[in-house]
Amino acid sequence: MTVDELIAPSDVETGTVFRAPRREDGAAISRLIGDCPPLDTNSTYAYLLLCEHFSQTCVVAVGESGEIDGFVSAYIPPQKPDVLFVWQVAVNERARGSRLAARMLHALVWRCAAKPIRYIETTVGPDNIASRKTFEAVALAAEAPIAETALFDATLLGDDAHEDERLLRIGPFDIDMLTPL
């Protein structure tokens, strides 16, 4: 692994390595997303593009077995250079319960320390408690307020079964507050 790929020091206790995704991870990431409802599934090609073009703002957590236990996709919106927009967060069922999602988010922000990020934005369904608790914990660690507003209502998502996607905005914060957990 190159220094450029390694996002944060390995978790010594669990043996988890946080690193930037590579194109070879695309198919495994696609399967992980499929195994993590209620996340929307996308083509493997879409995940290959994330690995190829957005690896600097995405992270995979690789467990001791060498399998991908977690994934976060994120990007800096072109019109908002101070925002890290987090798209999908997934933790394999076998790895849940030890706040791996929050640890991935901390590792990712730590990796972005040279960038002028002062906000994290994400969308979250109204009933996704684990996801909400994850972002609340990040806001607490960043000592930053968290605001919730409407973003995409279910009709825009073109699917009767889809919940509204509400925007959570954490910040402003000092990026140095979010060190690896």
Q: Report the residue number, 96 or 115, with the smaller CB distance to ligand COA.
A: 96
Binding mask 120-159 for ligand COA (x = CB under 6 A): --------xxxx-xx--x----------------------
Q: Which of 8, 74, 83, 101 binds ligand COA (CB under 6 A)?
A: 101
At 56, give phi and psi (nearest 5°): -70, -20
CB count within 10 Å of CB 28 equals 17
Task: Write out the binding residues for ligand COA, residues 2-31 only, by CB under 6 A.
Answer: none
Q: How far is the CB of 35 from ligand COA (least distance, A)?
A: 9
**Phi and psi angles of residue 30, each rounded to the nearest 5 degrees, phi first:** -60, -40
For residue 11, the cross-strand partners are: 16
Q: Does 94 bind ligand COA (CB under 6 A)?
A: no
Distance CA 80, CA 73 (A): 17
Rg of the chain's alpha carbons, rounded to an integer? Answer: 15
- Binding stretches for ligand COA (CB under 6 A): 36, 38-39, 88-91, 96-102, 128-131, 133-134, 137
